[in-house]
Amino acid sequence: MEIILKNLKIVEPGSNLNGRKRDIRIQDGRIVRIAAEIEAPRSVTVRDFKGARVSPGWVDVGAYSGEPGYEERETLEHLARAAAAGGYTTVCIMPRTKPVLQSKSEIRFILDRSRALAVDLLPIGAVSKDLAAVEMAEMYLMKEAGAVAFSDADKGIQKSGLLLRALDYLRYHPDTLLIQQSYDGELSGSGQMHEGHFSTLLGLRGIPSMAEVAGIQRDLEILKYTGSGMLIHKLSTAEGISLIRQARKNNPRLFASVSVFNLAYEDKDLETLDANLKLFPPVRSTSDRTALIKGLKDGSIDLICSDHQPMNPERKDLEFQAAGFGAISLETAYSLARTRLADELSDELWVEKVALNPRKILGLNTEGIAEDAEADLSFFDPAASWTYRVENVRSLSRNSPLLGQTLSGKVLGIFKKDQLITPQA
């Protein structure tokens, strides 16, 4: 394919092209020229973006698929469609499937299916067999087969001995991370939302901040002992960020992520008891949200994840107390950030946290926007508005708190695998 993309403002912090309006010529999947003005021969396709933004392709870490095993929630094809519509060119998938992604055959299944899809779907291998925290899975064989990282998904690794063995093993694979959702399961118990004023007001059992803080403290001590690499996934508390900020001074391979939901919402937003805002970790207090944003800006938090968790109506369309945790968000993560965080989260900071840092941390393509680089691009317009309707949803599931809302900031498409994909919202 040969195409010229015109009038694009490049957003790539650290590049000498950052903030400049340029035309980009692509041939056979690679960028062959970048210039202020590129004259287009009649035989070449032209797409004028009229001043919209372009950045290196976005990467989501820790999304959930249904396939294999729960195809009624999400197939890999629908996941890829949702990702492309949301501006993501690469999605790293958690191992909570059926069967669990716990051997080389499941890893190869995801990679083989990904080849025919619009975006790259990269499997995260399970640490323990069946996510049961009893016996370690075949981590070495999964790594050889192409697992991008390892995790026990939203369960985290609750048993200290297993976490120690897993991190000790990864000392011999310094290019590989363990992704850990840190919390103490006994302290979080059967909580439904953040423990505080609003949980009391609504009569719901709370999930205390202490559950996350205690989990992080344990995990950091074990990490310090082994000297391995770890990504603390989906931070939600001010105290947790303080612990990470301090620990990072002595460990350059300690990283942290945050869910876009925890940046955009607070526990007071649950007053309507919208089950689609029942998330884990829960959205927390105003002070927690403020601390998370500060952590993004000062570098204590490296990544923003979409926290995409599709769920069928039988598990979600229930009273709040009975509903499952999770919401879909691949298609709307950028727009949610622009709608609720426009004054706090610049496009440069967004690109740093969803494109540049994930690539560095996971060892993915970091060529960026440059001549002779692979064309792996995301296009977006921070000034555009659109309404997220049911008929727009690419995911098989509909568990989003944003349905029916008019949002600011619109993804215009991606260029990936020598294809320009521009979903209409």
Give the catalytic positions in this structure. Answer: 307
CA dihedral 226, 232, 237, 243 (to 10 degrees): 30
Residues whose CB is less than 8 angstroms from the CB of residue 221 and which lie 6 or more positions away in sequence, other chains included = none
CB 152 within 8 A of CB 129: no
Exposed, middle or buried: residue 146 (CB in 10 Å: 0-12, 13-18, 19+)?
middle
| Nearest one of 155, 91, 151, 99 to 121, comparing CA atoms | 91
**Within 156-196, where are the H helices?**
160-170, 185-188
Q: Which residue has the tokens 């968000």?
A: 329
Q: Rg of the chain over CA atoms, in angstroms?
A: 21
| Nearest one of 64, 46, 51 to 20, comparing CA atoms | 51
**Terminal CA-CA length for the chain:** 25
Parallel/antiparallel/unpaired status of strands 377-387 and 53-56: antiparallel
DSSP 8-state secondary structure symbol assigned to residue 136? B
Exposed, middle or buried: residue 251 (CB in 10 Å: 0-12, 13-18, 19+)?
middle
CB 350 within 8 A of CB 304: yes
> In the numeric block, which tokens belong to residue 408?
């600011």
Three-class DSSP category at 78: helix
Residues whose CB is less than 8 angstroms from the CB of residue 8 and which lie 6 or more positions away in sequence, other chains included = 21, 22, 23, 24, 49, 51, 52, 53, 54, 379
Instruction: Give dist(CA 365, CA 368) in Å, integer.
Output: 8
Parallel/antiparallel/unpaired status of strands 2-10 and 21-27: antiparallel
